[in-house]
Amino acid sequence: MLQKKMFLLIVFVISLTFSGFGVAQAEGDNDGGDDTEIPTDEPIAIELLKIREVILRASSFNQLKSLSLPVYVQADVRGEDMVVVVENYEGPLEVEIYGLSGSGSVGEVYSVSGSGVYGLDISQLTAGYYRIELHLGMTTYAGKFSIK
């Protein structure tokens, strides 16, 4: 019985040792590596979440065709521009960016015909945290990003 407890204790200590080592490496705390910042001219992807969607029935063949393909939406901060990529969508795209602490806002409306890349100048926004909302018809995607 004592040998079984001792064996379990050793296995437990070994598992803690290796799991702690893995966490430190994953977090980059003790790996001895260089913790440099990402240059601002490289794209910084924004995680977008679908926060609202209204599904409609197709009333024509073109609408049915567009409903069969999944809509792809991506937003990146590239220097002083917000770049939005939309695929498999037909209709208006409204981009809204506003500061979470009242630090400014910008917005623009585009007409998408199938797919496209749209740029929005965000150089006038001051340092802070911002929310982006992309309204594609009755579907809304949202994400957060910061400007330093």
Domain spans, the chain: 1-35, 44-147
pLDDT reported for residue 48: 80
The answer to whether the beta carbons of residues 93 and 117 sit under 8 Å apart is no
Per-residue pLDDT tens over the stretch 32-90: 444 334 345 677 777 887 876 665 555 555 555 555 689 999 999 998 999 999 999 99
Q: Which of 5-14, 20-29, 31-40, 86-95 has the highest mean pLDDT?
A: 86-95
Architecture of domain 44-147: Sandwich (2.60)
Rounded to two decimals, the pTM is 0.60
Q: What SS3 state is found at 28?
A: coil
CA distance 63 to 69: 11
pLDDT tens digits along 117-131: 999 999 999 989 999
